[in-house]
Amino acid sequence: MGVFPTPFESMPRLQAELGGPKLYVKRDDLTGVALGGNKVRQLDYILVEAKKMKSDYVITTCGVQSNWSRQTVALATKMGMKSLLVLRTAQFKTKPKVYDGNILLDHIMGADVRVIKMKISEDPTPILEEEAEKLRRKGHNPLVLGPSTSISPVATAAYADGFREIAEQASAAGVALDAIFVAAGAGPTQAGLILGAKMIGMKTKIVGINVGAYSTKRVTEVILSSSEGAAKLLGTRARVERSDVTISDDYAGKDYGIPTNESNDALRLAARTDALIIDPVYTAKTMAGMVDMIRNGEFGGDQNVCFLHTGGVPALFAYKQYFQPKRSSRNVRGR
């Protein structure tokens, strides 16, 4: 149901600003459904199960500003199913009094939204199962997409195919990619990219920037286990080894969903050079990492580097307080 292939574009003004390698962006924020994002590519694979089960409801979970939840609701809606979301407050201290960003779009698309006070790292699976049982008693046939769904081999397989798409577009543009930067949240997107590169014999380095949702140790284990399962699903002999996994912890900041000065600066820089609008939770921290590594000389002018834009822009509006114009300390009056 997504729109593929998504664009592969150069970023000449950001490249000139940084004075480093040739820069490109893979626009998986433009996957075509309800403002897009990388989850659409994965859900195209995952929701095949809903068709098999003839489900009329999808139940899922994430944070209140969840891209996963928005894209799940969107694809479920297009398939004629209803959605129930159990959203965790995550990085926010209280439940939202006013809907904004992703949760506003969830509501507009007709999702039944329940918000619980819980960290993003905590597991609400018992609550999902309780809600599913309530729906079954009413005669519905719900499909539960719990926390493990988004890190499944199926989600990883989707991005093995995504890497092939990037490689074909880069080749058509005469570009040999040395590195791809991606947000390391739970891990399956990076896992799929690494597996995809190994499947077609490319040496492209996949650089994950940890955004603070989980420890790098946990993300690495997810990458290894989900890529193993994906390789079996895809019938390939290629395997992801621990030495293939590159994740930086240097740009996560205090916690998941809490911007840093560097990520806010990177968000503005991308917008003011190549009009690339990114989100404050995932892609801004990833951009901050890429910018810093380039400025530190880790990538040279003869190299080609791609930034994977995984979407999430609706969340920007829930963080608007970070991006207001500065007010003058003086009250200027006309004469």
* Enzyme catalytic residues: 66
Q: What is the DSSP letter of 119?
A: -
CA-closest candidate to residue 21, choices 298, 293, 300: 300
Instruction: Based on DSSP, count helices (H) and strands (E) in the chain, helices before strands.
Output: 11, 10
Amino acid identity of 25? V
- Token digits of residue 261: 């000065």
CA-closest candidate to residue 89, choices 58, 114, 54: 114
* Strand 112-116, strand 142-145: pairing: unpaired
HSE at residue 298, side-chain half, CA atoms within 13 A, is: 14
Q: How far apart are CA 6 and CA 291, in angstroms?
A: 23
The H or E element containing residue 125 is helix 125-137
